[in-house]
Amino acid sequence: MLNERMREEINLLHARMCSGIADPVRIALLYELSQGPKNVSALVADLGLPQSSISRHLRVLRDRHLVRWRREGAMVYYELTDERVIEALDVLRDVLYGRLERRANLVQAARTKH
């Protein structure tokens, strides 16, 4: 069982990690990196966003320890620090998909009543 101090630390880290994924671009970056290590140029091409935007979002992901970088010659490659982050994102997507599906069913039921 976690002591109170450990629980507070976990909650703080949890909130910090969630703030790191609280942006659609950062979520897209994580999914791109789930396919394997990529450099900024590849991410720019894949996502169609400016290099400055990609770099800014990668910095946030690095600060939250969601991605790490490694240098190969002149190139810097980014990769996920833990693949389970994608599993967590997939669970959240399933929850959201279910919510949207329920809404659509409610709308459909309301339309058929009238």
Report the amino acid identity of residue 60: V
- Pairwise CA distance, residues 73 & 75, whole Å: 6
pLDDT at 38: 98
Fold (CATH) for 1-81: Arc Repressor Mutant, subunit A (1.10.10)
Cα–Cα–Cα angle for 33, 38, 43, nearest 5°? 80
Whats the size of the chain, residue-wise? 114
Digits of tens for pLDDT over the chain (114 positions)? 669 999 999 999 999 999 999 999 999 999 999 999 999 999 999 999 999 999 999 999 999 999 999 999 999 999 999 999 999 999 999 999 999 988 888 888 888 876
Q: What is the model's pTM?
A: 0.85
Q: Which residue has the tokens 């990529």?
A: 38
| Other CB atoms within 10 Å distance of the CB of residue 72 | 9
- Any idea where the domains of the chain sit in the sequence? 1-81, 83-114
